Amino acid sequence: MNSEDTVEYARQQPSPNCSERPAGGDISLLVIHNISLPPGEYGGASIDALFGNTLDPQAHPYFAGIAHLRVSAHLLIARDGKVTQYVPFEQKAWHAGKSSYSGRDNCNDYSIGIELEGTDHEAFTAVQYDQLAKVTRWLQRRYPLITSERIVGHSDIAPGRKTDPGPFFDWTLYRTSVLNSEPTQ
């Protein structure tokens, strides 16, 4: 990964589940997700395995239904605040699926996807909000079309299909943290 296209302090774990963005595309949307594998369990290598196409369908009953998926995100912020980057920002990560924002379909073409390790059913950690705010500020400086109005949840671009980041994601805390944080790098 190009150093200008990565978070400097992130662990790099390249995913094959990415592609080139359309020519002339603009990066103008930030999508917040949540993920835990198996659901409600934290730590371990299952998210890396899912994004790397190596998830063992026999390792957990839940995995049998998802091991075939070819998905990724640009970043994961773990419960302890550690950041992993799977896809360079200039490339298209496969995080949004069938999606639309402001009448424009295929959000993967013009968005950056950040996964928070968590679920729809419990609060995220303070360090996750801190890291997310710092990364957001850096992304907004690098991609000025990502304004505060163009930061959404997966549920906003795929309503009825997705619910994340869920009701426990504190949008007010996050937006206040973005305003008060220093960008990374």
68 CB-near residues (< 8 Å, 6+ apart):
57
Partners of 18 in beta bridges: 93
Residue-wise pLDDT tens digits, 153-176: 999 999 999 999 999 999 999 999
Is 20 assigned a catalytic role? no
Residue-wise pLDDT tens digits, 2-48: 666 788 999 999 999 999 999 877 999 999 999 999 999 999 999 99
Q: Which CATH architecture has domain 3-40+72-180?
A: 3-Layer(aba) Sandwich (3.40)
Catalytic residue among 115, 122, 149, 182: 115
Name the pTM for this structure: 0.95
For residue 57, is the peptide bond before it cis, meaning its omega torsion is within 30 degrees of 0? no
Q: Among candidates 93, 96, 113, which has minimal Cα distance to 31?
A: 113
Residue-wise pLDDT tens digits, 111-139: 999 999 999 999 999 999 999 999 999 99
